[in-house]
Amino acid sequence: MLGQMQNQQLLISSLIEFAERHHGDGEIVSRRVEGDIHRYTYRDLARRSRQLANALDGLGLERGDRVASLAWNGYRHMEMYFGVSGSGRVLHTINPRLHPEQIAWIINHAEDRVLCFDLTFLPLVQAVHAKCPTIKKWVALCDADRLPQDSGIPDLFSYEDWIAPASDEYIWPQFDENTASSMCYTSGTTGNPKAALYSHRSTVLHAYAAALPDVMSLSARDAVLPVVPMFHVNAWGIPYSAALTGCKLVYPGPAMDGKSIYELMEAEHVTYAAGVPTVWQMLLGYIKPAGLKFSTLKRTVIGGSACPPAMIRAFQDDYGVEVLHAWGMTEMSPLGTLCTLKNKQLELPEDEQMKVLQKQGRAIFGVDMKIVGDDGRELPWDGRTYGDLLVRGPWVLESYYKGANPLVMDEQGRGWFPTGDVATIDADGFMQITDRSKDVIKSGGEWISSIDIENIAMAHPAVAMAACVGMPHPKWDERPIVAVVKKPGAEVTREELLEFYQGKTAKWQIPDDVVFVDAIPLGATGKMLKTRLREQLAGYKLPGV
Ligand code: ADP
């Protein structure tokens, strides 16, 4: 017997329709590439998304055609989120920090038909446009009077000129909720990037889940600043959850330095922010020496790579800002786990709570996870045993766009996505990432977590950033060393830092050496690029080897 409830498809257009009707006057503030601050409302966003949808229809684009963006976080980019996907096309958000060769490669791989870009990326577009024959329209996300002359790009349009004549009346098409809505390529640190192709259903379900109190807890009372870029897994889904909840949105545009972010937070009374640890490092690096405080910021989601406990403490103890540690992947839309305490843990002493809060957290309903050993058997949830982390759920990838199906089948015939992460899970369901499987250090048959080694170094007051890698060792196979960037003006010696490890981890896990470097190479999404660091350390020999 079937249920007798309305069978409405879960479509992204329903989010923007809801936003317009129920919190149409909610504010969306953007720092523009032009440098000024732009303000409008969800009502304006909905109206202009419909104009964009009409403009896309006018180009004769088919359903499923890919429309690409090379853009910062801002209102025009958000219009693309709804206008492109809502009208049945697929939004392809390109990471501008990728190498131009890779950008040309993914445009061709995705067979993008339209590319809309912020003027910051004009040189990039000039470098790739001749190699991208599938694109039939190039659009600069700017006012008409800002359109560059002699750009060398044929028929370049300004976005405003393009959508201005289009009607703002549009009936969003209804279609199967499993229709593709957007795509995002992984950063491809090894080999060519691979794309996750999201659907309307996966996106809407993820938007619901992200808004839950123990997940990102977004509400109409928040003013949210996503520092995480809209080209990186849809800014962790925040634009969709924002439309669903009606929170005020504050977009930082291209100004991602500590000062600009801080000033925007204060000016717009931001209560909530989200980003990768390296961004928050810059923010703390700006406000601490300047003796500044946050007057409205209450919570921040930190994820994308392990958040050092020292950062959680700094936010909490020095600024009264709650840190929510999150874990996810491009292949997971991206949210998998988020760390919030359970009721019974509220009575724990602060130190015990901190041990929990530095974990990557509990699975969100919609994500099932397990850890397995080399033989594929599930391992116990005891907080100590580590294994390969596998996940499944309605917003987890099944197969890559034009690519392989990486799923591992279980005895019941259910497919699990192998995350490539090594993790423990404790009896309360809190997952902790030990490492990416390719970064884990194998010493004398035991594993050493590079994240643990980095976190200890990061707790030293003179250390700005630390990256731990394994170096070949004739007896132990590999031994850890830690590459360290000192804070400006701070001093610490190799010996002092090695001494700092004493008592904080097992003796055999203490790194064999400290190498001071000017910078740790970062990848396109702000994560440490250990492959590049290892290349830089080529020729390095462990002491005594
Ligand atoms: P890419 O694969 O392009 O670098 P993703 O954002 O998809 O970008 O990266 C996902 C990976 O990032 C995870 O598999 C995990 O290794 C790492 N990661 C994400 N969040 C965390 C976290 N909170 N702690 C540790 N590692 C994390």
pLDDT of residue 34: 87
Out of 352, 442, 446, 493, the active site residue is: 442
**Do 271 and 409 sit in the same domain of this protein?**
no
* pLDDT for the residue 538: 87
Tokens 């035991």 -> residue: 446
Is residue 7 assigned to a domain? no
Helix (H, G, I), strand (E, B) or coil at 273: strand
Distance 378 CA to ligand 1 centre (A): 22
| Residue whose CB lies within 8 A of the most ligand 1 atoms, among 97, 280, 305, 396, for a mutation test | 305
Q: What is the pLDDT of residues 342-390, one digit of tens each?
A: 999 999 999 999 999 999 999 999 999 999 999 999 999 999 999 999 9
Mutate which of 325, 329, 522 for ligand 1 pocket (most atoms within 8 A of beta carbon) = 329
pLDDT at residue 176, rounded to an integer = 98
User: pLDDT of 108-127, one tens digit each?
Assistant: 999 999 999 999 999 999 99
Q: Would strands 415-425 and 335-338 be described as parallel, antiparallel, or unpaired?
A: unpaired
Could you tell me if 418 and 451 lie in one domain? no
Residues linked to residue 199 through DSSP beta bridges, in sequence order: 180
The domain in which residue 383 lies consists of 351-436
Q: Is residue 1 part of a domain?
A: no
- Exposed, middle or buried: residue 98 (CB in 10 Å: 0-12, 13-18, 19+)? buried
Q: Which of 493, 497, 461, 480 is nearest to 537 (CA)?
A: 480
What 3 state SS string does 220-248 have? CCCEEEECCCCCCHHHHCHHHHHHHHCCE
Domain-located, residue 338: no
Distant-in-sequence, close-in-space partners of 460: CB < 8 Å, separation ≥ 6:
492, 497, 500
177 has a pLDDT exceeding 70: yes
Look up the CATH number of the domain holding residue 468. Answer: 3.30.300.30
Mean pLDDT of 184-191: 74
> What is the C-alpha to C-alpha distance for residues 281 and 299, in angstroms, rounded to an integer?
16
Q: Quick one: how many helices (H) and strands (E) in the chain?
A: 17, 26
Span 421-443, pLDDT tens digits? 999 999 999 999 998 888 889 88
Who has greater pLDDT, 132 or 188? 132
Sequence-ordered strand ranges (E) for 284-359: 299-303, 322-328, 335-338
Which one of 436, 464, 498 terminates a domain? Answer: 436
Q: Are residues 176 and 241 in the same domain?
A: yes
Same domain, 414 and 444: no
Residues 459 and 420 in one domain: no
Residue 93 designated active-site: no
Q: Is the pLDDT of residue 520 over 80?
A: yes
Q: What is the mean pLDDT of residues 128-147?
A: 96
pLDDT tens profile 313-331: 999 999 999 999 999 999 9
The Cα-based distances of 425 to 119, 363, 454 in angstroms read: 45, 10, 21
**Span 457-482, mean pLDDT?**
93
Q: Which of 403, 436, 469 is the last residue of a domain?
A: 436
Q: What's residue 280's pLDDT?
A: 92
Residue 473 Cα to ligand 1 midpoint, Å, equals 28
Active site residue 236: no
Indicate the average pLDDT of the chain: 95
Three-class HEC string of 177-201: CCCEEEEEECCCCCCCCCEEEEEHH
- Facing residues of 435 across strands? 422
Residues 213 and 247 in one domain: yes
CA triple 69-74-77, angle to 5 deg: 30
Instruction: Classify residue 6: in a domain, yes or no.
Output: no
User: DSSP strand E in 59-131: where?
Assistant: 66-70, 90-93, 112-117
Residue 4 lies in a domain: no
Q: Is the pLDDT of residue 188 over 90?
A: no
In a domain, 340, yes or no: no
Ligand 1 atom nearest the C-alpha of 302 is 23
Residues 490 and 510 in one domain: yes
Return the H-helix or E-strand segment holding 483.
Answer: strand 477-486
Q: Residue 540 is which amino acid? A: Y
Report the CATH number at residue 414: 2.30.38.10
Instruction: Tell whether 236 and 111 lie within a shared domain.
Output: yes
Q: Give the atom of ligand 1 at the shortest distance from the alpha carbon of 330.
A: 7
Are both 76 and 188 inside the same structural domain?
Answer: yes
Does 442 qualify as catalytic in the annotation? yes
**The pLDDT of residue 190:** 58
Do 282 and 379 reside in the same domain of the chain? no
Tell me the C-alpha distance between 200 and 319, whole Å: 38
Residue 337 lies inside a defined structural domain of this protein:
no
DSSP string, 26-65: -EEEEE-TTSSEEEEEHHHHHHHHHHHHHHHHHTTPPTT-
Q: Looking at the CA of residue 420, tell me the nearest atom of ligand 1.
A: 14
- Residues 223/337/79/232 CA torsion (nearest 10 deg): 110
293 is catalytic: no
Of 376, 362, 375, 364, the residue nearest 416 (C-alpha): 376
Tokens of 234: 């849809």
- Report the pLDDT value the prediction gives residue 218, as an integer from 0 to 100: 95
- Render pLDDT for 62-111 as a digit per residue (tens, 0 to 9): 999 999 999 999 999 999 999 999 999 999 999 998 889 999 999 999 99
Extract the tokens encoding 505.
């981890």
DSSP state of 303: E
Domain boundary among 384, 414, 436: 436
Confidence band of 191 (pLDDT split at 50, 70, 90): low
Give the CATH number, domain containing residue 288.
Answer: 3.40.50.12780
Pocket mutation for ligand 1, best pick of 194, 233, 433 (most atoms within 8 Å of C-beta): 433
Which residues' Cβ are closer than 6 Å to ligand 1? 186-187, 303-307, 325-330, 334, 360, 419-421, 433, 436, 525, 527
Whether 21 and 110 map to the same domain: the answer is yes
Distance 100 CA to ligand 1 centre (A): 23
pLDDT digits (tens, 9 = 90+) for 156-172: 999 999 999 999 999 99
Describe the crossing of helices 42-58 and 75-86 by its angle, rounded to 10 degrees.
50
- Judged against a pLDDT cut of 90, whether residue 214 lies above it is answered with yes
Q: What is the mean pLDDT of residues 293-301?
A: 97
Cβ(536)–Cβ(521) below 8 Å: yes
* Domain count across the chain: 3
What is the average per-residue pLDDT within 119-146? Answer: 96
Closest CA to 450 of 352, 327, 310, 306: 306
Tally Cβ neighbours within 10 Å of residue 136: 14
* Cα-Cα-Cα-Cα dihedral sign, residues 234, 237, 243, 249: negative
92, 213: one domain: yes
Q: Cα separation of 508 and 375, whole Å?
A: 27
User: What is the distance between the alpha carbons of residues 104 and 121, in angstroms, rounded to a whole number?
Assistant: 13
In a domain, 264, yes or no: yes
